[in-house]
Amino acid sequence: MRWSLVVPALAALAIGGWPQDGLTSHPSLLLTAADVADITATMQESPGFMRSLERTRARVDRYFATEPDVPAPTDAGGGYSHEQHKRNGVAIREAGVVYQLTGARRYADHARSLLLAYADLYPGLGEHPMKKEQTPGRLFWQSLNESVWLVHAIQGYDAIVDTLSGDEKSVIEERLLRPMADFLSVESPQTFDRIHNHGTWAVAAVGMTGYTLGDPSYVETSLYGLNRDGKAGFIRQLDLLLSPDGYYAEGPYYQRYALMPLVVFARSIENNDPELKIFEYRDGLLLKAIYACIELSYGGLFFPINDAIREKGLDTVELRHGVAIAYALTGDPRLLSVARRQESYVLTGDGFEAALTADRGEAEPYEHRSVLLRDGPAGKQGGLAVLRNGAGPGHQALVFKATAQGMGHGHFDKLHWIFYDNGNEIVADYGAARFLNIEPKNGGRYLPENESWAKQTVAHNTLVVDGESHFGARLAVGERFHPEVLYFGSEKGVHVAAASMDGAYEGVSFSRTLVLADGVLADGPVVVDVLDVTGSRAGQYDLPVHFKGQVIATSPPLSAMTEKLVPLGSANGYQHLWLRAETEVAAGELFSMTWLAGNRFYTYSIQAEEPLQVLFAELGANDPQINLRREQAVILRMQSAGDSTFVSTLEVHGEYDAAEESTIGSEGSIAAIERFGDGDNELVKIVSRQRGERYLALSYDPDEDLKHAMRIDGREFAWSGFYGLFDQNGPVASNHSN
Amino acid sequence: MRWSLVVPALAALAIGGWPQDGLTSHPSLLLTAADVADITATMQESPGFMRSLERTRARVDRYFATEPDVPAPTDAGGGYSHEQHKRNGVAIREAGVVYQLTGARRYADHARSLLLAYADLYPGLGEHPMKKEQTPGRLFWQSLNESVWLVHAIQGYDAIVDTLSGDEKSVIEERLLRPMADFLSVESPQTFDRIHNHGTWAVAAVGMTGYTLGDPSYVETSLYGLNRDGKAGFIRQLDLLLSPDGYYAEGPYYQRYALMPLVVFARSIENNDPELKIFEYRDGLLLKAIYACIELSYGGLFFPINDAIREKGLDTVELRHGVAIAYALTGDPRLLSVARRQESYVLTGDGFEAALTADRGEAEPYEHRSVLLRDGPAGKQGGLAVLRNGAGPGHQALVFKATAQGMGHGHFDKLHWIFYDNGNEIVADYGAARFLNIEPKNGGRYLPENESWAKQTVAHNTLVVDGESHFGARLAVGERFHPEVLYFGSEKGVHVAAASMDGAYEGVSFSRTLVLADGVLADGPVVVDVLDVTGSRAGQYDLPVHFKGQVIATSPPLSAMTEKLVPLGSANGYQHLWLRAETEVAAGELFSMTWLAGNRFYTYSIQAEEPLQVLFAELGANDPQINLRREQAVILRMQSAGDSTFVSTLEVHGEYDAAEESTIGSEGSIAAIERFGDGDNELVKIVSRQRGERYLALSYDPDEDLKHAMRIDGREFAWSGFYGLFDQNGPVASNHSN
């Protein structure tokens, strides 16, 4: 075939090349006939792949030990019929694949029986009784689940079709596969033609069905939309859903989910229409998206920004597919260490290649590096900066969220940051208020507290003005604005990102510079956070820091509520916070707080440029269903005349070793912070007990050729580019190691 | 030499056998000259041992890269001088051992320099300025730390003494080792002759010094007390500190700590006085104590009963010694899997033997079994029952604490229980309120909340009468009473322990039977808890359940405090609990609560025999320093006329798999619980949606030959022994598997 990525209108002309129905060789999607020949010949060389196959085979054996139920569709997500249909869809695929890889006919029979049962059920179904919002399904409450089901089932059908009689094929295709593909495409145009992950699942399901049934019309609409004009469909989705750096607008949790149909459909396209060179499209966009997913994780778990289930990570089936495909395309041996960590290989040609090479010992460690992932289809709607320091599972990662809103799952958290160290989340994002698929918790759906708490600005580590969330927590407003990335730079020991935001509040703009420096400001890693707020009127500025761990000491001491707790506010998330303790910090004084997390200490310090109120809050107020986790935050509050700056540091220090009963470095090193501005430039003076005086100079101009200077206390600080670092004597080479 | 274990008065007669001073061969304590010859000849065969040595060598190299500070003793525990002296003591030992195993003279010189520095410092020291309570040290605030220091330092000295000049020996022995040994023995009789772990450290330090210096008087007083009459000293400590099952009265956290001097001194005795057969004493008591430590753990961490730092476990240096010694004595290959988990071998002959065999692949899994560890010197003061079901890291463990008070570190928690499953603590013990060695937290010492919360009864999962703790939280009273173990039985699938307690409250006695049954009452594991209270007057009975996880659902629903939290009480620990939610359960109704921990669900159910008030509480009230962790409990409250019973179940069920987005079995199976009594016997009827009606009959008589019967609802239940299990049709064989 000769589809085209760039001139979709011409594509239809090429259909003459399509093989006649029945001549397509099977299987032909993620696992091809050639893969099967290769795998069955050499499987013994990969114990890892054999274990994965064996586990799947055992699972299929257990599943089909009794005839699987095919219930009438009655339940919403998480309910019995919902989960049973999901399981059946997966079982059809797995039984088919196990048949191909073992040759044991009974597995083909298992898949056939289930497919026939669905062919019996499906034609009689109307809209699902629990239909969800605007996109109801038939087998499931929403058509999204139906697309996912078909992506699985079509792979199973593809694997067993050559074992079926003509009658069986006809029944399954005419009563199940075509009606479902039609339902998901021409009968659901609002989803199928939507540039959204639901649309991606739909086009993948329909397109893969097209390849399997040898029906080019399904493939064509999947690639170019129902009108076949390229204004919708897979190619358009690739143009708009991902940024040029492979970042998906909703954030990593949904990026993972969106990745699955993208890569499995792309692999199916590659196997059937290699001339399309789909993996080369937009400069290798799909590959970038897979790598982006890996970079958007720490300790194997995705950064929990936006609506995110915190337990999700690189071991999900989506990433198992993604990593296997990426390895097949690149041969990058670092991907094999990710694959090994996943502990299971997908049963595809790509999965086998990764398993075989990993088992030959060719894996290399995947060390993350600092990256900026631009957001927006053209990469011009802000971005997500990930600053990484050190190597291995204990390295530091600072995530700076300067992305666009991210559609309905986006949180109102412009210029928010989170921080990891030593394998732990230290400065945290709550993630989503949701217990995925746990029926007693609102049917497993998003909880009311996702709106009232998790999405609100105060649930994040960024500026809250007058107790209100960014954009008044209105999605439509949020989608009209996005941050500008001002700078991103990374060298050994010093990593810097900066961005600015207009439009989150009327009359208030803010910019933020985050520096992760190791061995420069103190002996260990230190984050410097410079948050400049420019306001046209007086206002209350809150800066929350959601920290994880046990408070060890604060200075000045907190005054704790001992006899009564009341909520910190009445709306915009504040109603969920109990005020647990507070203190006041006079202008010019330092507030510092040390906590213990894992076996390390962390000290957050902020110099009060203006009087600061420090509020220590715990989550759980106005939570009648006990839906919220018990988390905590310290909130720095300032009554500002309009223009104010929060300059703070976070130090990583010391070690608590309970097994050895030793504690070292339990106190932070930073004794004072001071900021100077001359209208254009800013200079932050940081006094560390370990390193003495250090200075961070900011020009806010990324041009490395431009020179800047400030004169403070009779001393001249001169640098070029966005920032400079100085010690008592002069510029500090930023290329430090520790 | 011919010391005696049984007739200490005769031991002095045997001293003639002692070699003349200077003729002792070195080293001779934990690492002997023969060990050194063996290790250096064959070390290449054990990569594990070589890694341990290499790590120690690297640590010693780093430590002595600059001359270690030997500061004036000024600080309390956790402070600089305290920690530095601790580090120096360890460094002397490690440098000496590395010298022996590498032959590199510079390590001997490192140890020598430090010892000479201490010989210079020590004679001028008086009582420590921060002296602790009744047992001040000189180098440290308490003499305990000084004993520990000497246990380390004497091993270093033993390792290098043959490299010293006569003058150096004389300076170190006369100005440091003898004065310190004298200070710890004759000058501190209240500690040295005390039957307590402080005494054990002291006799170990002094005795090991005696062996090294070839001074039998030190050895003799260490073995038999200052009066050498056997009323004190190591042998007497072995008689009284450990129960016949090797249980140490203070519980596992301190058992670990007490184990160290016991086993290192015992190994030194064995190497120098093998005729004493110290490891055979009291039927192999020391070996039982080592095994007891292993059995008192889950997931490698000790059960956190009594004052306990929760992070402590089998990877501590005490257990590294203990396991190596136990392996040398028994050749039990299961111990090698414990040793491998420790990731480091002690640099002794025993450590080498364990490493060598483990590296040969001879380790076998250490699967815990249900055990009863009797408490008290004669094993007659109650005991700790550990019920285990299943195998591997996800097995269930139920810890039933029916022990005696456990001296000053004991908690007021008679018949308390904790429960583990799936690698997690599910029904919890708070442990100690202490941040060990973290200076800003009360100098690393026990916090005030250890008395006001952690020790109080309400902080545990057992009966609280009228809001007061057992024994009025008075240690002296607590030490006069102990529980009686009524029954302990374990077979595959059914594990039972029962005990009774008189004296915790005036006029109130209670007994408790805990059953851990798998595949009998429901498809999975279920705990049944029958707590019978007999009171001579009306009272308020509280039964707290400190659970870990996120509440998913309760029935009836809880009414949550949304706008204000106030403490649940004003004293005895209740003042630290915020009342977060509550509900009322009418007599005859079931209260059930499901929570999620890790990827499993747990449902606690209790039938209200009388009206029940359910209080859901969170820790943190009246905690001005934020010293308490944020934990939670549900408290079942009953206003009783005197005699009442709490019958409850805890089910383990379902699975939440976020990676696979699947949830199964999120609801418990138990629908009703009912209890019948006929004065002698009790019958508990449990109705499970999975298994139908099941009955647990209790006679409270362990005699397996005695037959019992009850007639309920026209049906006859007949069984023999302590308990019987029945289904709809008749007796259930308890030998179930799942």
Q: Residue B13 pLDDT > 90, yes or no?
A: no
Q: Distance (Å, rounded) from C-alpha A63 to C-alpha A95?
A: 10
> Which positions 261-280 of B are in contact with A (Cβ < 8 Å)?
none
Q: Distance (Å, rounded) from C-alpha B233 to C-alpha B219?
A: 10
Of B437, B596, B629, which is closest to A663 when you measure between CB atoms?
Answer: B437
Predicted pLDDT at B343: 84
What's the token pair of residue A565?
Answer: 């707790």
- Considering only CB atoms, which chain A residues are within 8 Å of B623? 560, 562
Determine the number of helices (DSSP H) and then strands (DSSP E) in chain A. 19, 29
Strands A484-491 vs A494-505: parallel, antiparallel or unpaired: antiparallel
B564 touches chain A (CB under 8 A): yes
B186 touches chain A (CB under 8 A): no
Q: Provide the residue type at A662 as one letter.
A: S
Counting Cβ atoms within 10 Å, is residue B21 exposed (0-12), middle (13-18) or buried (19+)?
exposed
Q: Distance (Å, rounded) from C-alpha B545 to C-alpha B543?
A: 7
CB contact under 8 A, B624 and A666: no
Q: Provide the residue type at B384 as one letter.
A: L
| pLDDT tier at A516, thresholds 50, 70, 90 | very high
Q: Residue A22 pLDDT > 50, yes or no?
A: no
Counting Cβ atoms within 10 Å, is residue A7 exposed (0-12), middle (13-18) or buried (19+)?
exposed
CB contact under 8 A, B626 and A551: yes
What's the token pair of residue B654?
Answer: 């379902």
Average pLDDT over residues A189-215: 95
B662 touches chain A (CB under 8 A): yes
Q: Residue A11 pLDDT > 60, yes or no?
A: no
Residue B535: strand pairing partners: B508
CB contact under 8 A, B560 and A623: yes
| pLDDT tier at A304, thresholds 50, 70, 90 | very high
Cα B718 to Cα A340, B203, B517, B705, distances in angstroms:
56, 56, 20, 13
Q: Distance (Å, rounded) from C-alpha A82 to C-alpha A76?
A: 6
CB A146 within 8 A of CB A88: no
HEC profile for A137-168? Answer: CCCCCCHHHHHHHHHHHHHHHHHHHHHCCHHH
Of B438, B660, B661, which is closest to A656 when you measure between CB atoms?
Answer: B438
CB contact under 8 A, B663 and A78: yes
Mark whether A604 is an active-site residue: no
Average pLDDT over residues B529-535: 97
- Considering only CB atoms, which chain A residues are within 8 Å of B559? 624
Q: Distance (Å, rounded) from C-alpha B341 to C-alpha B355?
A: 12
CB contact under 8 A, A312 and B659: yes
CB contact under 8 A, A83 and B594: no
Predicted pLDDT at B3: 53
Average pLDDT over residues A699-713: 93
Q: Residue A704 pLDDT > 50, yes or no?
A: yes
Minimal Cα distance from B311: which residue of A?
A: A658
Question: pLDDT for B87-104, tens place per residue?
Answer: 999 999 999 999 999 999
Predicted pLDDT at B260: 93
- From the candidates A293, A625, A632, which should be mutated to test the interface with B, based on the most B CB atoms within 10 A? A625
Our CA-based measurement puts residue A357 at a distance from the nearest CA of chain B, in whole angstroms, of 25
H helices present in A161-196, as ranges: 166-172, 178-184, 189-192
DSSP E strands, A232-323: 297-298, 301-302
CB contact under 8 A, B626 and A581: yes
Per the prediction, chain A carries an average pLDDT of 93
Q: What is the DSSP string of A645-694?
A: EEEEEEEEE-EEETTTTEEE--S--EEEEEEEE-SS-EEEEEEETTTEEE
Q: Provide the residue type at A688 as one letter.
A: S
For B675, phi then psi, to 5°, come to: -125, 140
Predicted pLDDT at B14: 42
| pLDDT tier at A354, thresholds 50, 70, 90 | very high
Q: Distance (Å, rounded) from C-alpha A471 to C-alpha A462?
A: 14
Of A437, A624, A662, which is closest to B562 when you measure between CB atoms?
Answer: A624
Tally of CA atoms within 13 A in the half-sphere of A271 that contains its CB: 27
- Considering only CB atoms, which chain B residues are within 8 Å of A436? 658, 661, 663
A88 touches chain B (CB under 8 A): no
Q: Distance (Å, rounded) from C-alpha A288 to C-alpha A262?
A: 12
Of residues B683, B662, B668, the one with CA closest to residue B725: B683
HEC profile for A446-481? Answer: ECHHHHHHHCCHHHCCCCEECCECHHHHCHHHHCCC
Our CA-based measurement puts residue B26 at a distance from the nearest CA of chain A, in whole angstroms, of 28
What's the token pair of residue A19?
Answer: 């093989």
In the numeric block, the tokens 């697309």 are attached to A147
CB contact under 8 A, B666 and A596: no
Predicted pLDDT at A4: 58
- Considering only CB atoms, which chain A residues are within 8 Å of B435? 550, 552, 596, 656
Our CA-based measurement puts residue B392 at a distance from the nearest CA of chain A, in whole angstroms, of 19
Residues of B with a catalytic annotation lie at 254, 409
Spatial neighbors of B363 by CB under 8 A, at least 6 apart, are: B333, B334, B336, B337, B339, B340, B357
H helices present in B433-553, as ranges: 448-449, 475-478
Predicted pLDDT at A12: 39
- From the candidates A69, A152, A437, which should be mutated to test the interface with B, based on the most B CB atoms within 10 A? A437
Backbone CA torsion sign across A175, A178, A182, A183? positive
CB contact under 8 A, B317 and A659: yes
- From the candidates B63, B201, B442, B550, which should be mutated to test the interface with A, based on the most A CB atoms within 10 A? B550
CB contact under 8 A, A562 and B629: no
Average pLDDT over residues B174-192: 97
Strands A464-465 vs A539-545: parallel, antiparallel or unpaired: antiparallel
Of A436, A660, A666, which is closest to B440 when you measure between CB atoms?
Answer: A666
Strands B707-712 vs B715-720: parallel, antiparallel or unpaired: antiparallel
- Considering only CB atoms, which chain B residues are within 8 Å of A311? 658-659
Question: pLDDT for B563-601, tens place per residue?
Answer: 999 999 999 999 999 999 999 999 999 999 999 999 999
Q: Provide the residue type at A647 as one letter.
A: V
CB contact under 8 A, A311 and B578: no
DSSP E strands, A13-84: none
Spatial neighbors of B269 by CB under 8 A, at least 6 apart, are: B207, B223, B234, B276, B278
Number of Cβ pairs closer than 8 Å across A and B?
147
HEC profile for A349-406? Answer: HHHHHHHHHHHCCCCCCCCCCCEEEECCCCCCCEEEEEEEECCCCCCEEEEEEEECCC
Q: What is the largest CA-CA distance in chain B?
A: 92
Per the prediction, chain B carries an average pLDDT of 93
Minimal Cα distance from B560: which residue of A?
A: A624
B438 touches chain A (CB under 8 A): yes
Q: Distance (Å, rounded) from C-alpha B202 to C-alpha B441?
A: 28
Question: pLDDT for A229-283, tens place per residue?
Answer: 999 999 999 999 999 999 999 999 999 998 999 999 999 999 999 999 999 999 9
Q: What is the DSSP string of A550-603?
A: EEEEEESPPEE--S-B-BS-SSTTGGGEEEEEEEEE-TTPEEEEEEEETTEEEE
Of B550, B560, B664, which is closest to A624 when you measure between CB atoms?
Answer: B560
Predicted pLDDT at A6: 53
What's the token pair of residue A393?
Answer: 């599972």
CB contact under 8 A, B560 and A309: no
B563 touches chain A (CB under 8 A): yes
What's the token pair of residue B157?
Answer: 């000295």
Average pLDDT over residues B322-337: 96
In the numeric block, the tokens 């930023």 are attached to A734
- From the candidates A309, A452, A550, which should be mutated to test the interface with B, based on the most B CB atoms within 10 A? A550
Of residues A565, A541, A563, the one with CA closest to residue A622: A565
Q: Residue B226 pLDDT > 50, yes or no?
A: yes
Q: Distance (Å, rounded) from C-alpha B470 to C-alpha B456?
A: 8
Backbone CA torsion sign across A252, A258, A264, A269? negative
Q: Distance (Å, rounded) from C-alpha B591 to C-alpha B637?
A: 12
> Which positions 304-363 of B are in contact with A (Cβ < 8 Å)?
309, 311-313, 315-317
- The active-site residue out of A107, A254, A298, A602 is A254
Q: Provide the residue type at A44 as one letter.
A: Q
Q: Distance (Å, rounded) from C-alpha A484 to C-alpha A496?
A: 15
Question: pLDDT for A196-205, tens place per residue?
Answer: 889 999 999 9
Which helix (H) or strand (E) element contains residue A39?
A: helix A33-42
Average pLDDT over residues A681-703: 95
First vs last C-alpha separation in chain A: 57
What's the token pair of residue B180?
Answer: 């310190």
Predicted pLDDT at A657: 83
| pLDDT tier at A490, thresholds 50, 70, 90 | very high
Average pLDDT over residues B165-185: 98
CB contact under 8 A, A667 and B440: yes
Of B435, B439, B565, which is closest to A578 when you measure between CB atoms?
Answer: B565
CB A96 within 8 A of CB A160: yes
Of residues A638, A27, A562, the one with CA closest to residue B449: A562
In the numeric block, the tokens 């408070």 are attached to A551
Question: pLDDT for A422-470, tens place per residue?
Answer: 999 999 999 999 998 888 899 888 999 999 999 999 999 999 999 999 9
Q: What is the pTM of this model?
A: 0.91
Predicted pLDDT at A264: 96
B446 touches chain A (CB under 8 A): no
Predicted pLDDT at A21: 44
Minimal Cα distance from B557: which residue of A?
A: A625
- In eight-state DSSP terms, residue A95 is H
How many of the other CB atoms lie within 10 Å of CB of B37?
Answer: 10
Question: pLDDT for A530-573, tens place per residue?
Answer: 999 999 999 999 999 999 999 999 999 999 999 999 999 999 99
Question: pLDDT for A500-511, tens place per residue?
Answer: 999 999 999 999
How much of chain B is helix, strand and coil, in % rounded to 5? 35, 25, 35
CB contact under 8 A, A622 and B563: yes
Q: Residue B36 pLDDT > 80, yes or no?
A: yes
A663 touches chain B (CB under 8 A): yes
CB A174 within 8 A of CB A189: no
Q: What is the DSSP string of B630-699?
A: --EEEEEEEEESS-EEEEEEEEEE-EEETTTTEEE--S--EEEEEEEE-SS-EEEEEEETTTEEEEEEE-
